[in-house]
Structure 1
Amino acid sequence: MARLLCFALALALPLRVLAASPKKNVTDIVPGLYENQMAFTAASWYLPYQSKLTDTENATTWVQIDLGSNASPVEQVQIYPLVQPHYWPETMPYVSFAFPSRWKVEADDTDSFNNPTMLIDRTGEDQPNPRDTIQTIPVDRKQSAGRRYLRFTATKLGISIDGQHYQLGLSKLSALSDGTDIAEGKEVAVDSALGNSGVVNLGSDPYNADLPISNSSALTRPPRAMGEGVITDNPENVIDPKDWNPPQLLASTPLSGVKLGDGVIKTAMVDNIGYLLNDSMGSVDKLVHDFLARAGKPTPSNLNYPVGYWAQYQGSNAARFLMGASNTLRWIDNDELRSRMEAVVATIAECAEPDGFIMGYPQDQMFLGEHAAYTRAWLTHGLIDTGLTGIKKAFTLLRGYYDWYNKYPLLKHLMRGSVQGAQGMVANTLMALSPVGTPRDANVVQQYFQMNFWRDGLAARDPSMIWQYPYDHPHTYLSTNMEAYADLYLLTGDQRYHDMLLGYWELFYKHWIHIGGSTAIVEFGQYPPDSYRLDGLTGELCGNSFWIRLNQRLHWLDPDNEAYTNQIEQSVYNVVLANQNGDKGIIYHAHLVGQKDFEDPAVSAYGNGMINTCCEGQGTRTLGSLAEFIFSRANDRSGIYVNLFDTAAITWSTPDNHNATLSMKTQFPFHNDVHMTFASSSESPVRANIRIRVPSWAARPMQLSINHSNTTITGYPGSYLSVDRKWSSGDTVSFILPAEYHLEKYTGEYEIPGHSRYALEYGPVLMGFAGALSNASISVSGSKPSSLIDMLQGSGQPLHSSIPGYDSYEVMPYWQIGHQNFTCFPVLDVAS
């Protein structure tokens, strides 16, 4: 069943349970990890408070809360530090910024604090930094009785996030009375000297410069749905495997049996091979360096990391290679690619620890950076797909590792105690679906990672569940979290997962997918529904890689719903191909105006010079997989689905065990004619249902020709046209894809007052105006904006055009634009 990968085998294997082990403190397992950690906050409803910056730590600033005229006595004060994720390996993942080393908490019956009562006094000597731990401090009820106002005063400030100034930073303040936070929702005031009232964009954080990063009202915000800490342990979420009832899948993805001819997809996949083999970090000794180092074995003396190289995720370089190479080798043979892949797997096996641990970092560094999720998921993806190429050792290694991981004593810390820990969920669910999976692989996700509030909120189509996701980063990576929930549905059949999945898809498609198909949400920045930002942080390749996989799973469940393959197609043309720099590299963001995000070795690690990024890893994985999206197989063996249009052939087995092959020839999108030829191993006609996609972008109904004769078989846009008949070898199907130029009006934050911006598309292909500035304006010589289409003049190269009066512009597929300035959203003003 495609990437269900021998589900029956998974159920047949014994359930592994947590092994009993002596209780250890977290710091015994991972030095530097703390109990009572606070989960990171990033969305604007949960942003921290930060005072104004000052050049000296010896300054005073305060925040105070009006508890109300009939406030109950306070018994405990909870102080939540300002925490930020720290991506580099020198520290544990969360560190506290701007927490004062000297401070006090007072109460008074007036807001002027002329006669305060001291509740907590830490002003006599410097206090240790609380890092990312919530401070809960008891106070004397009698001292606060009858006091309406509570004030936190910093008398010696902490270091600011920029590392160059001082300020007060807090995420939340709670005043507990009989276990209830009586400060929740109450009015907050700040001092006039250094205080920041309301939501203020400080613009001082290199990670969050785009955000309004001070929010005084957030100090009394309600608690998040699953609390403020990092511990997640909900055994009641586990569905007993005996109660699993997997849904029927109607289609599956071919893992083999597809041959590529000359076309757009094969060109991209061959370029991806060049990228993998010619990468400066792609030699075997560099790919395996981290595993050898962790095992204490000899390593190359100097890796010579390129400028901006992402080296902090030990093992990700090898994982990136495995993801790209293993997927590619299922479709295109390459001896060098295979030999390197085999050598990498052999070294990982050589360096495996007796307990099964195989990662490229030591066990006690699980919480450093994004090791726990990002790096673990990458290596899992790579080894699963390597196993599918026939290297069974990859599956053996994974099974040993997940037997270790499923007993890891700190599982309840991982989702929120490590950076973006939820993105590791998909590693476990893919293992559960693999040929060596066990139900325990999925149960671990249910117990330690499942978020019922998110499940139910998405099912209810609540958009805040995406752009105000309350833990870690509201991010395009939410789509890979959703992959895991989709897998849980495929495994268990629990309808609540299915409702969540459809709710997420509907919300994301309606509010966070750009014209052209790229994702319109990236970590940190503000991305409310329908914001559709066009430059800077938008269109992350990771996001569309995950979006493709999510739509693929939905296609298995409902293959006649053309919307899912439409999203895959747009992602391929307008993001995956657009972010591929030939055989030289893979781009991070799909900017839609300005300039593309090309690699520039002279730029620092915070600019375009990033190498081994998340988008390179997921990009090479997706590029290596492109062949699997062209066709899918009907699981009842009745036939196939034709999803994308390129020169390729698929072979499948008919119900009477004959081999059938459908060969497709086309040069789409440069030419619209498509020709298919049927062949089989049977001397007699073979019954097969060939379902041909009629894309939603089709300008008109699509009529088929069978064996060069016109028919009455007509398909309508946004559907699959079923041709169910007896086929003889040599039978043909021909049609013209009804692709035409069309305009779509832009709405979003980058609208220009008094003008209208439009995107030009040809079928699924987003067009770019090369040579134009971001906000270019074109005067259309007609009565409406669509008159632009009549102005286009062919330049001799398919889908390349010029515009009279705009000699410096060339209209071409966005994916073919290089280093020049461009826009995909010009202003089109009708000439008066």
Structure 2
Amino acid sequence: MNRLSRRTFLKHSSLAAGAALTIPRSSSLRAATTAPAAIRPKLAQFEYAQVRLLDGPMLEQFDRNHRFFLGLDEDGLLKPFRERAGQPAPGPVMGGWYNDNPAYDPPKNMTGYIPGHSFGQYLSGLARAYAITGNKPTQEKVQRLVKGFAPTVTEKFYVDYPLPAYTFDKTNIGLLDAHQFAGDSHALPVLSRAVDAVLPHLPAGPQTREEACAVPHKNISYCWDETYTLPENFYLAYLRSGDARYRQLAARFLQDKDYFTPLSQDENVLPGLHAYSHLNALASAVQSYLVDGSQMHLRAARNGFRMIQQTQSFATGGWGPDETFRKPGSGDMGASLTKTHASFETPCGAYGHFKVTRYLMRITGDSAYGDSMESMLYNTILGAKPILEDGTSFYYADYNNVASKFYHQDKWPCCSGTFPQVTADYGISSYFQSPEGVHVNLYVPSQLTWTQNGSRCVLTQRTEYPYHPEVTLEVRTERPESFAIALRIPAWAGPGTHVAINGKAIAEEVRPGIFLSLHRTWKDGDRIELTLDRTYRLIQVDPEHPNLVALLHGPLSLFAVGETPATLSRRELLAAQERSGSWSVSSGSDAVTLLSYPQIKDEKYRLYLPVSV
């Protein structure tokens, strides 16, 4: 790894961030020809450069990932591509899943599983990081990687390669983001050649894992490809390049027969499917709606996500124990608490979850998708352990009755690729633009800069939420302007939730489960004070285990650490007290300490607690 000192990194990043406050940059560097979408959503996404995270855990996590991937050895990243192209391949062997290995023998030995698989995601994460910070070394690294990758693009790469669609899909988004966000003029021509290279190794259309296994195959991993996730990024390639070939390829790989059509008809076909990739596939259905106007695919995405929330999700918002959706009514979710420590595929699942909820909230304007995003943030990804220098990565969140945070046994797994992408997306998940003004979705220390009615506006958010209930938003404008600032009021918010402007309570009713629109003429220095009544509530693991419950406080799922009584009462749990950054539940002479997921380090913990009837 090329070491990049924190001082040098912060110097470049802080200079760029400071410039972004005075002269907002466009983070989109569009092709000369782009394509229109059929649908314009209710809410628009801000550019990466328009949202600046301020000091807090989200900025710390983003900066750590940015610094880590900026320091990776470029020859090491390119080595598997150069080797498979028969070219000189200097640099270190990264190992794990990332490089070819003659000892690869799935599922017993996964070293050498998918050579080069996450290269495109690392490229994407760096391109988005450049769009956020304006850090020139980051842009230069992205462009060098594209330049180094270009000569390796050959059909030979996919010979005897188990998951061509899986790896190409990541290459696709990496090159698209290098073009869009890092201004690389070579990225789209390289992508066109990369498509030519992979197409001979793809099936005629989407395949289920069973269909892939029915074809003669070298080993079990040839059954695991994910052709059904291809359409999302093919649609994005069409939108960003204007090349109709990508739109045709997107339509070719939509998994309608086995997945989207039954979902659109409200048939739950999730049980037994690989959890992350099929949640991620819902993003392809959404893009089919946005680009082609397909109402069927929008219904499929909305129904599928609802089924995941209602039948597959833990109290944290995570889903898919052992990476598999479970049959409703089977009690499998509760049973998993004693059978596995692989409860939720965290960075990958959070990345897909954020994407799908962003899409659906933009289309519908429904604040419930923001509530879901918030749960995923505070209860899963924000508590992920950092990637280590040798590629050792956090992978699974553990909800077992005797649980711990642990690293994956293989270096450079899939979650090492989605981790930098999801942390780069924190800012664009926090605010959205409507024709009337701004929607505030996540309550995080941050600053949004945009133009409203021709005036430059800045909205600065300061908060220690969710550990404290208060959120303050300050408006700065060049001149008074009339527009709306809509605040997401979570569905769990209690009756003590209130909003004031410049110290005076608003006249509008504050109702849970909506975006509360504050439309007025805003003046420079106006302040919004939001106080969220963080209620306590209990959520059972599934209907078959009604007496196994998790305690939540506001958006936070609380995890018991240390010894716990054999049973607690619901009344005792709901009487929990917050003290000095942790929570305490009294049961007779015993006291149970609970922590949020980001607070847990090396303690053993338990999410679901047994309660008396």
TM-score (norm 2): 0.82
> Can you list the C-alpha shifts for 1:627-656, whole angstroms capped at 9, x where unaligned?
11111111x3x21110000111111222x3
**1:721 aligns to what?**
516
> Can you list the C-alpha shifts for 1:359-399, whole angstroms capped at 9, x where unaligned?
xx61434xx221x2221111222222222323323532454
2:573 to 779, 784, 788: 788
State the AA in 2 paired with 1:544: A
**1:574 aligns to what?**
379
**2:344 aligns to what?**
539
**1:650 aligns to what?**
448
Aligned-pair distance for 1:257? Answer: 0.5
Aligned-pair distance for 1:793? Answer: 6.1
> Can you list the C-alpha shifts for 1:522-576, whole angstroms capped at 9, x where unaligned?
44685545632334332112233212211111111112x1111111111111121
**1:330–1:712 Cα change, 3 Å:** same
Aligned-pair distance for 1:763? Answer: 0.9
State the AA in 1 paired with 2:364: D
Looking at structure 1, the residues matched to 111 and 510 of structure 2 have their Cα atoms a distance apart, in angstroms, of 48
Contact 2:477 2:523 in 1 (8 A): yes
Contact 1:476 1:522 in 2 (8 A): no
**1:739–1:526 Cα change, 3 Å:** closer
**2:559 aligns to what?**
768
**1:326 aligns to what?**
127
**1:793–1:409 Cα change, 3 Å:** closer
Looking at structure 2, the residues matched to 379 and 315 of structure 1 have their Cα atoms a distance apart, in angstroms, of 9
Aligned-pair distance for 1:619? Answer: 2.4
**1:812 aligns to what?**
595
Long gaps (5+) in structure 2: 1-25, 98-108, 213-221
**1:312 aligns to what?**
113
Aligned-pair distance for 1:719? Answer: 0.4
**2:409 aligns to what?**
609
**2:35 aligns to what?**
11
Aligned-pair distance for 1:286? Answer: 0.8
Given the alignment of the two structures, is residue 711 of structure 1 paired with residue 506 of structure 2, yes or no?
Answer: yes
Looking at structure 1, the residues matched to 205 and 529 of structure 2 have their Cα atoms a distance apart, in angstroms, of 57
Given the alignment of the two structures, is residue 509 of structure 1 paired with residue 315 of structure 2, yes or no?
Answer: no
2:55 to 242, 259, 262: 262
Contact 1:757 1:826 in 2 (8 A): yes
**1:499 aligns to what?**
299
**1:621–1:341 Cα change, 3 Å:** same
**1:24 aligns to what?**
none
The answer to which of 250-259 and 301-310 deviates more is 301-310
Aligned-pair distance for 1:491? Answer: 0.5
**2:458 aligns to what?**
661
Contact 1:779 1:829 in 2 (8 A): yes
Contact 2:461 2:474 in 1 (8 A): yes
Looking at structure 2, the residues matched to 462 and 7 of structure 1 have their Cα atoms a distance apart, in angstroms, of 40
**1:409–1:742 Cα change, 3 Å:** closer
1:467 to 271, 280, 288: 271
1:284 to 57, 74, 78: 74
Contact 1:701 1:717 in 2 (8 A): no
State the AA in 2 paired with 1:342: Q
Q: How many residues align?
A: 554
**1:441 aligns to what?**
246
Looking at structure 2, the residues matched to 315 and 292 of structure 1 have their Cα atoms a distance apart, in angstroms, of 10
2:550 to 759, 764, 778: 759
**1:524–1:641 Cα change, 3 Å:** closer
Identity of aligned residues (%): 19
Contact 1:777 1:828 in 2 (8 A): no
Looking at structure 2, the residues matched to 434 and 351 of structure 1 have their Cα atoms a distance apart, in angstroms, of 26
> Can you list the C-alpha shifts for 1:751-806, whole angstroms capped at 9, x where unaligned?
3xxx822211121111111224xxx54554xxx51323435462x3x235475778
Given the alignment of the two structures, is residue 743 of structure 1 paired with residue 534 of structure 2, yes or no?
Answer: no
Given the alignment of the two structures, is residue 520 of structure 1 paired with residue 320 of structure 2, yes or no?
Answer: yes
Given the alignment of the two structures, is residue 596 of structure 1 paired with residue 400 of structure 2, yes or no?
Answer: no
Contact 1:771 1:808 in 2 (8 A): no
Given the alignment of the two structures, is residue 675 of structure 1 paired with residue 483 of structure 2, yes or no?
Answer: no
**1:827 aligns to what?**
610
State the AA in 1 paired with 2:456: N
State the AA in 1 paired with 2:286: A
Looking at structure 2, the residues matched to 818 and 405 of structure 1 have their Cα atoms a distance apart, in angstroms, of 45
Contact 2:46 2:428 in 1 (8 A): yes
> Can you list the C-alpha shifts for 1:225-254, whole angstroms capped at 9, x where unaligned?
xxxxxxxxxxxxxxxxxxxx8223111222
Contact 2:551 2:573 in 1 (8 A): no
Contact 2:559 2:606 in 1 (8 A): yes
Contact 2:312 2:325 in 1 (8 A): no
**1:292–1:735 Cα change, 3 Å:** same
Aligned-pair distance for 1:616? Answer: 2.3
Looking at structure 2, the residues matched to 806 and 622 of structure 1 have their Cα atoms a distance apart, in angstroms, of 44
Contact 2:537 2:553 in 1 (8 A): yes
Contact 1:519 1:544 in 2 (8 A): no
TM-score (norm 1): 0.61
Given the alignment of the two structures, is residue 378 of structure 1 paired with residue 170 of structure 2, yes or no?
Answer: yes
State the AA in 1 paired with 2:119: A
Looking at structure 2, the residues matched to 382 and 679 of structure 1 have their Cα atoms a distance apart, in angstroms, of 36
State the AA in 1 paired with 2:394: I
State the AA in 1 paired with 2:69: L
Looking at structure 2, the residues matched to 819 and 336 of structure 1 have their Cα atoms a distance apart, in angstroms, of 35
Larger proportion of strand:
1
**2:102 aligns to what?**
none
Q: Secondary structure at the match of 2:159?
A: helix
**1:630 aligns to what?**
430
Contact 1:651 1:660 in 2 (8 A): yes
**1:495–1:816 Cα change, 3 Å:** same
Looking at structure 1, the residues matched to 146 and 445 of structure 2 have their Cα atoms a distance apart, in angstroms, of 33
Long gaps (5+) in structure 1: 13-244, 600-607
State the AA in 1 paired with 2:475: F
State the AA in 2 paired with 1:678: V
**1:336–1:640 Cα change, 3 Å:** same
Looking at structure 1, the residues matched to 260 and 40 of structure 2 have their Cα atoms a distance apart, in angstroms, of 22
2:150 to 338, 349, 357: 349
Indicate the RMSD between aligned Cα atoms, in angstroms: 3.2
Looking at structure 2, the residues matched to 788 and 630 of structure 1 have their Cα atoms a distance apart, in angstroms, of 31
Aligned-pair distance for 1:704? Answer: 1.6
**2:83 aligns to what?**
293
Looking at structure 1, the residues matched to 32 and 143 of structure 2 have their Cα atoms a distance apart, in angstroms, of 28
Q: Secondary structure at the match of 2:260?
A: helix
**1:379–1:448 Cα change, 3 Å:** closer
**1:273–1:748 Cα change, 3 Å:** farther
**1:456–1:577 Cα change, 3 Å:** same
**1:710–1:390 Cα change, 3 Å:** same
Matching of residues 141-156 of structure 1 within 5 Å: none
Aligned-pair distance for 1:328? Answer: 2.6
Contact 1:742 1:786 in 2 (8 A): no
Looking at structure 2, the residues matched to 399 and 429 of structure 1 have their Cα atoms a distance apart, in angstroms, of 11
